[in-house]
Amino acid sequence: MNPEVLAPLIPISAILAFAAYKIVRLFVTRPEALSADVTARLEALEHDVQGVQQELAETQERLDFAERLLAKAREGRQIGG
């Protein structure tokens, strides 16, 4: 894979992992101390993070597909060229 393409994915993955860690830590350390509003907001945040993770996975699949197409095109030019 091209490092220039992967570079933006590294900080995004780190942010998502950090957010997931914070959410889990809140649930584990003080589940009884959370109000219903805070719990609802955390669940909404967790749902949003899962959505972003899904979008990131789909984007990575599309990137892999595009890279395979470009590699095939380059091979075709080298063989035919």
Q: What is the pLDDT of residues 3-29, one digit of tens each?
A: 676 667 777 777 888 888 888 887 777
Identify the residue with better confidence: 18 or 70.
70
- Structural contact between residues 5 and 63, judged by C-beta atoms closer than 8 angstroms: yes
Q: Which residues fall within 8 angstroms of residue 44, CB to CB, at 6 or more apart? A: none
Is 15 a member of any domain?
no
Residue 28 lies in a domain: no
What DSSP element (H or E) covers 19? helix 9-29
Predicted confidence at residue 30, as pLDDT, reads: 64
Dihedral class, residue 17 (left if φ above 0, else alpha if ψ from -120 to 50, else beta): alpha
Answer whether 0.75 is exceeded by the pTM: no
Report the amino acid identity of residue 32: E
Count how many domains the chain has: 1
Angle between helices 36-80 and 9-29 (to 10 degrees): 160
Least confident of 1-5, 33-37, 73-77: 1-5
Whether 25 maps to a domain, the answer reads no
- Decide if 67 is inside a domain: yes
